[in-house]
Amino acid sequence: MAMQFEVVKAKINEILAAAAAGRFRTIGHQSQSVTALSIEGVKRTVRVYYSGGDFPKGASSANGPISHDITFNVELAVAEAGKIDIATLENPASTEAQKITAFVAAKEADELADTSWDEFFRIVWQILMDARNIDFGLPYEVANRWVSTGQKDKISSTGSMIVVTGVIRLELRVSEQVLGDAGDTPLEGFDIDMGIDDQDPVAEVSTTLP
């Protein structure tokens, strides 16, 4: 049975996907799956993952429920087609005016990507902090929802793309039940074979004394 932090993560993905309205894609939501190679066409993607959590002993019972103070990282990525005229910038025959024009065009592409990320941050922040999403559709199961920080990374170039990434840190509290391990079947496609020979190593040892 899934722990509560897994349930909440799925609900956050569901809410983001429902609110996307063509403005971005939610990685991890089945209906909006996208590969890294297609980010250029997508322009903006968001990915939610569990970053860590604390289990305050004073707010929990030894046998459950146990309070779980969660931090989710909500990663934002924006990609814009680059307009960097490398040939002109690196050509020794280019005039100073030509190089300035190419440089300005590159900076304009940077600014476009940077502005797009700011808008993206605004959209996702508003979704996460919307009063209607205070419990992410899980009444009485989510508490202390709060966006604690937002961080933008430096603008970078990847081939012909200008990329801006960053993260929103979302914090909240849930209660986890202690149900014990049920010995679930491993996930499909997960190979637990460690490459150990099926033969009993003990049987291979000779019992004949010298």
Task: Write out the chain's pLDDT in tens, 210 residues.
Answer: 899 999 999 999 999 999 998 899 999 765 544 444 444 445 899 999 999 999 988 887 887 799 999 999 999 999 887 666 666 667 777 777 766 666 666 667 788 889 999 999 999 999 999 999 999 999 999 999 999 999 999 888 766 678 899 999 999 999 999 888 877 666 666 565 655 555 554 444 444 444
Where do the structural domains in the chain lie, given as residue ranges? 4-176
Is the CATH number of domain 4-176 3.30.2000.30? yes
Other beta carbons within 10 angstroms of residue 79's beta carbon come to 22
pLDDT at 40: 42
pLDDT at 73: 97
Contact present, 162 and 122 (Cβ < 8 Å) = no
Question: Which of 166, 144, 196 has the alpha carbon at shortest distance from 44?
Answer: 166
Contact present, 90 and 106 (Cβ < 8 Å) = no
Other beta carbons within 10 angstroms of residue 207's beta carbon come to 5
pLDDT at 18: 94
For residue 14, count CB atoms less than 10 angstroms from its CB and return exposed for 0-12, middle for 13-18, buried for 19 or more.
middle
Joined together, the tokens standing for residue 55 give 């289990």
pLDDT at 132: 96
Q: Phi and psi at residue 21, in whole multiples of 5°?
A: 50, 40
Q: What's the half-sphere exposure (Cβ side, CA atoms, 13 Å) at 110?
A: 12
- CA 105 to chain centroid: 31
pLDDT at 175: 94
pLDDT at 113: 87
How many helices, marked H, and strands, marked E, lie in the chain? Answer: 4, 6
- How many whole angstroms separate alpha carbon 68 and alpha carbon 53? 6
pLDDT at 16: 96
